Amino acid sequence: MLKFRKRKEKAERRLESTEASLLRVQDLLREVRRQLRPLERQADAARRHGDLVSELNALRLFLSGREISAFRTRLEALAIDRSEATRKEDELRRLLAELDTKVMAAEAELSARGESGLGDELVRVEQLRERSRGISMLLVERRRSYERDRGQMMDSGVVANLEADAARLRGELDEVEIAISRLEPENLELANDEAAFEGERTQAATLFDHISSSTISAASAAAEVRGELRTLRASVESADSEHRRLAVRLQTLAERDLRYATDIERLRNECENAQMVEEPLVGEVTQAEAHRLSAEAELETALATRNAIAAELARWQARGEALQLALDSARARAGAEKLKDVSGVVGTLLDLVVIDESWEQSVEAALGEALLSVVVENTESARRALAHLRAAATSGAVLALGSKLDAGVSGVYPTGALRIRDHVRSSRKDVADLLDLLLASAVQVKDWTAAVDAVMSDPRLVAVTPQGDRFTTTGWRIGVAGGGATAAALEDALKNAQASERDLAEREVLVHQAQGKQQAARAHEADVQKRLDANDAAFTAASEALARVQSERREAATESEGLLPTLSEIDERQERLKSRVGELEELVPSLEKEEDDEVQAAKARGEARATLEAQSTLLSGRRRDLEVRSAGLIERNQFTQERLVEVERRLAADAVARAEAAGHREKIEKILSATERLAAIVDGHRHIIEARLADLHEKRRRQSDEVRALSTTLDEMRRARSATERELESGRELSRRSEVEQTEVKMRLEATVETLRRDLDVEPEVAEAAEMPALPEGVSAPARTRDLERELRLMGPINPLALEEFNELQERHKFLEVQLEDVRNTRRELMRVITAIDHEIQSVFAGAFADVSVNFTQLFGNLFPGGTGRLILTNPDDLLNTGIEVEAKPGGKNVKKLSLLSGGERSLTALAFLFAVFRSRPSPFYVMDEVEAALDDVNLHRFLGLINEFRQEAQLIIVSHQKRTMEAGDSLLGVTMQPGGSSKVVTERTSAAAGGAAS
């Protein structure tokens, strides 16, 4: 049974816990449903907004893809053009580089021809030839001198020879001086020729410098004009492009201004219509709000009244229940239930009197136990009632009507005391007489001190207080002893409760009506408010759109006003540029003619320079020949003078010189040999120099022919280079234009790609591969895009999270519905489990009770010979809530309640019930702890007989201090402990057990 009961209690606890969960889930579900309604509208708007945005994004993706494809196609075309221009430019540069190389080589070669060093070498070779001639003549002269010296030394007449040599030397010196004087006219003629040549060369250099500066200035002027012309033409084209762009922009702004004007007119009409509708709607909202407030106030009043009546009903019901319990308790104590079938019984005094309000405690204190007594008609009836109570062994009290007893009160009461009898009534005359008798000496005073004084002044009085204090000569009591309940008070409480129930039912109807009015008022107000909100939203959207369109129109007008002066400036600049281009185009032919003339002048200048260089070479040769001859003569003059001085010195020498003549002669011989060798060497070199000089004169002639041919070739290459340079500059201008356009297209492509990635978060490849969305018939993609943008602007701000919140809340609604259904299923399952457990408990309990009842009757008869015992169900019809009463009647006694048995009898009865349970539901062993402690020897003997009966079926373990119980056991187990030692178990088998084991 305990197992099933625990399962049932567990199921009931879970059922109670699910009650709170059920209420919580229901509350959450109602709250979620309340939130779903406004969110659904917002989600629909967000869904519509999302569809428009998706379609707009698809169109933007498609248009961006087409634009990107167009840009890339244009870039590829520009790249091809630019590649072709680059290839052509590289070819022209290569050709120009070749021409530059050839021109530089020709100029270098021409310069090399003019500065090749051939003239210098020619001058050096002529100087060497003249010098070799001078050296040969000098060597010849020295050889002659030394031969003379040697001949003089060999001659005996040395002095005479010296004198002859001196005379000869004087003659040679005169000849040299005459030759030197003859060179002066030739030197003067050569100086005049050189001065004339220097004048011609200076005049030619001045002319050449003037022509060169003119050439440079004309060439630079032509180059500057061509460069400026190219720049001006590019500027004119740029101005034309800018003019076209501004014109298109102005036309677009004009079209947009017309569209803005139409939109402004339409939006103003929408705002005016919304303002016209708003005032009536505001009045309706005010009326609806007032109606709702009135309905809510009416509902609050009805609820307050209903709650007050419900509280009053609860109070009267609680008072009735309390009075009913008090009356039932009073009747039970007075034995009214036992005496209801006795004749002459009127009822309890409590049922027969009516007590004034607020006097209940005072009357109860004054009447005391009499208030709970049973009132009978006369003394005979009282005797029969008392006899019936005695026979039933039940306590009780009776009051007999019609008794003629003296109250024994003088009728004089203390000051301030009030008679209790004046506040208690009864509808029966005899009961009123009884009240006169019972309350004749009862008075009410204000507090316990006055009550003490009243009793002390007149011991016959019964003094009570409003708080229920009672003071008599038999004792003083503070506080209320009973509940102060009467039948009249109970009836009054029940009537008031019924009246409150009727009022409550009426108020419930009024509350339902007020709730209906409130709901209708709220619905009407919500409908009107919804229309007002829709009108406000339309007005707000129209106002915002109007402000936005006006702002855009002002911006467009400002932009248009700013573009007009810019367009005028561009026109003026175009006129100036075109005028300047015309002027420069007129100057170009004359400058090109001057450039060609300068080329011819440069060619003539080269030829004149070659002629001047040839004249310079000739004059240089004459100057070198004159210098060589003059140097030879001067050297010969110096040598002759030195020789003459030496000869004269020798003539003046003494005889010592003659002694040294022999040694000097040998020295002269050696010098003559060396002189002859040197003369041979100089003659060889002179022949080589003359051959080289002839060769150089031939080379100089050929070089002049080559310089003239190189000048002609250089002029042709320069003209070809100028043409190539003009073609290259034209190609560069086209390349620059292509590069500018390519840069512009790239920037627009990058801007489009960046916008695509920022706004749509897709790559360009996806946009290019996107297909055109389905469009309404007759509508283009750009027009549909503008329509979608306009619809989105008119929709105004949208809660982007509404759809997500609605989906989440809908999921939560479904989840809560599932949870609610789970809780309900769980509760149903728990109810089925509890019902099944109840059936199981009833079945098991019925079977167990039947077995235990039979065994209890049998065992009780064994333990109490001649006695009877049985088990009785207190409520046989409700086995789940029934109790078990044990009826035990030992032999020789007429008692059945356990409370009237002795301690040993109660113990044996309990053991009989216990062993009846053991027998009905056997177990392998049983453990009992001092269950026979309260048994005397006779009952102990009976208990041991019961033990002996059960020891054959199971093992019994009994904790006991009874010697006879220990003797009946098979084994004894004890715990002992020696002083200073530890506890230990001592086991001892009884002799009976040992004998049985031995047998």
pLDDT in tens, 799-836: 777 778 888 888 888 888 888 888 888 888 888 888 88
Instruction: Flag whether pLDDT at 33 surpasses 60.
Output: yes
pLDDT of residue 118: 61
Per-residue pLDDT band for 110 (boundaries 50, 70, 90) equals low
Could you tell me which residue, 910 or 608, shows the higher pLDDT? Answer: 910
| Proportion of the chain above pLDDT 70, given as a percent | 82
pLDDT of residue 152: 56
Could you tell me which residue, 929 or 315, shows the higher pLDDT? Answer: 929
How far, CA to CA in Å, does 671 sit from each of 146, 647, 675, 814? 8, 18, 6, 143
Instruction: Flag whether pLDDT at 677 surpasses 80.
Output: no
Compute the distance between CA of residue 224 and CA of residue 390 in angstroms, rounded to an integer.
154
pLDDT of residue 212: 46
Instruction: Flag whether pLDDT at 580 surpasses 60.
Output: yes
Q: Which of 743, 585, 574, 741 is nearest to 230 (CA)?
A: 585
The encoded tokens of residue 27 equal 């509350």
pLDDT of residue 322: 63
Instruction: Flag whether pLDDT at 217 surpasses 60.
Output: no
pLDDT of residue 218: 56
Instruction: Flag whether pLDDT at 101 surpasses 50.
Output: yes
Compute the distance between CA of residue 963 and CA of residue 955 in angstroms, rounded to an integer.
19
pLDDT of residue 600: 67
Per-residue pLDDT band for 740 (boundaries 50, 70, 90) equals confident
- Residues 6 or more apart from 581 whose CB is under 8 A from it? 229, 232, 233, 236
What mean pLDDT comes out for the span 581-594? Answer: 75
Per-residue pLDDT band for 205 (boundaries 50, 70, 90) equals low
Per-residue pLDDT band for 332 (boundaries 50, 70, 90) equals low
Is 402 a domain residue?
yes
What mean pLDDT comes out for the span 972-982? Answer: 81
Describe the crossing of helices 118-154 and 158-334 by its angle, rounded to 10 degrees: 140
pLDDT of residue 369: 72
Per-residue pLDDT band for 655 (boundaries 50, 70, 90) equals very low
pLDDT of residue 654: 44
pLDDT of residue 153: 54
pLDDT of residue 848: 83
Could you tell me which residue, 230 or 515, shows the higher pLDDT? Answer: 515
- The 3-state DSSP class for residue 332 equals helix
How far, CA to CA in Å, does 295 sit from each of 300, 308, 508, 750, 831? 8, 20, 16, 66, 43
Q: How many domains does the chain have?
A: 2
Is 962 a domain residue?
yes
pLDDT of residue 486: 54
pLDDT of residue 657: 53
Could you tell me which residue, 516 or 238, shows the higher pLDDT? Answer: 516
| Proportion of the chain above pLDDT 90, given as a percent | 0
Strand-pair category, 971-977 with 475-477: unpaired
| DSSP type of residue 872 | E
Q: Is the pTM of this model over 0.75?
A: no
Compute the distance between CA of residue 952 and CA of residue 848 in angstroms, rounded to an integer.
23
Query: Per mean pLDDT, which range of 706-715, 898-907, 985-994 is the poorest?
Result: 985-994
Is 985 a domain residue?
yes
pLDDT of residue 610: 64
Instruction: Flag whether pLDDT at 960 surpasses 80.
Output: yes
Is 770 a domain residue?
no
Is 261 a domain residue?
no
Q: What is the mean pLDDT of the chain?
A: 76
Model pLDDT for residues 451-469, shown as the tens digit of each residue: 888 888 888 888 888 877 8
pLDDT of residue 644: 74
Q: Highest-confidence range of 234-243, 777-786, 966-975, by mean pLDDT? A: 966-975
Domain span holding position 930: 840-998
- The 3-state DSSP class for residue 26 equals helix
Q: Highest-confidence range of 307-321, 574-588, 672-686, 956-970, by mean pLDDT? A: 956-970
pLDDT of residue 346: 75
Instruction: Flag whether pLDDT at 987 surpasses 70.
Output: yes
What mean pLDDT comes out for the span 842-865? Answer: 84
CATH number at 992 reads: 3.40.50.300
Is there a contact between 752 and 768 (Cβ–Cβ < 8 Å)? no
Is 341 a domain residue?
no
pLDDT of residue 213: 46
Is 337 a domain residue?
no
pLDDT of residue 147: 67
Is 18 a domain residue?
no
